[in-house]
């Protein structure tokens, strides 16, 4: 079964490797006996599902969650059950891929016009006069 991320991007279940490990946190005595935390591993560097642009941006955004080999490791331990932690890990990976697929807006650097700079300085001078008028004057 494929995991749909965007209309153009979906991941096959075979690309995700999920293992379960012991987790800290809620669960009482059960936490020492049952491996409920889900650790998801996704080989982004060798994934055929991702376009090259998305793959490089994904590895940048992953930061410390990505290994040198290009494998993204996400550990989910917020919930008490394996199933909920698995869903959480998959959703966090999907959100990361969605963010990587989003093209940042191209920003053209601009400078304020001379009139805009003049208006700004006039506004500052006006404020200074107002505040100066509030001060207490001591007449001798």
pLDDT per residue as tens digits for the range 20-75 = 888 776 666 666 777 888 899 998 888 888 888 888 888 888 888 888 888 999 99
Please report the beta strands in the chain, taking only residues with DSSP state E, as ranges in sequence order: 2-6, 9-12, 16-21, 37-43, 71-76
Confidence category of residue 15, pLDDT binned at 50, 70, 90: confident
Listed residue (139, 40, 47) closest to 101, CA to CA: 47
pLDDT at residue 128 above 90?
A: yes
Instruction: Walk me through the domains of the chain, giving residue ranges and CATH numbers.
Output: 2-101 (3.30.160.20)
Name the one residue in this structure whose structure tokens are 């889900």.
Answer: 38
Q: pTM of whole model > 0.75? A: no
Question: Which position has the token pair 């959703």?
Answer: 91
Q: What is the pLDDT of residues 69-94, one digit of tens each?
A: 889 999 998 888 889 999 999 999 99
Q: Which residue has the higher pLDDT, 31 or 95?
A: 95
Contact 76, 47 (CB under 8 A): no
């Amino acid at each position: 079964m494929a995991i749909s991320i965007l209309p153009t991007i979906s991941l096959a279940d075979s690309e995700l490797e999920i293992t379960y490990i012991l987790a800290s946190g809620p669960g009482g005595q059960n936490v020492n006996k049952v491996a409920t935390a889900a650790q998801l591993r996704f080989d982004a560097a060798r994934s055929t599902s991702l376009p090259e642009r998305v793959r490089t941006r994904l590895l940048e955004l992953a930061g410390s969650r990505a290994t040198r080999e290009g494998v993204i490791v996400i550990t989910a331990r917020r919930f008490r059950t394996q199933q909920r932690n698995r869903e959480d890990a998959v959703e966090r990976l999907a959100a990361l891929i969605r963010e990587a697929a989003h093209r940042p807006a191209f920003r053209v650097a601009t400078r304020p016009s001379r009139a805009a700079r003049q208006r700004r300085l006039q506004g500052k001078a006006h404020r200074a006069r107002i505040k100066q008028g509030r001060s207490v004057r001591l007449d001798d």
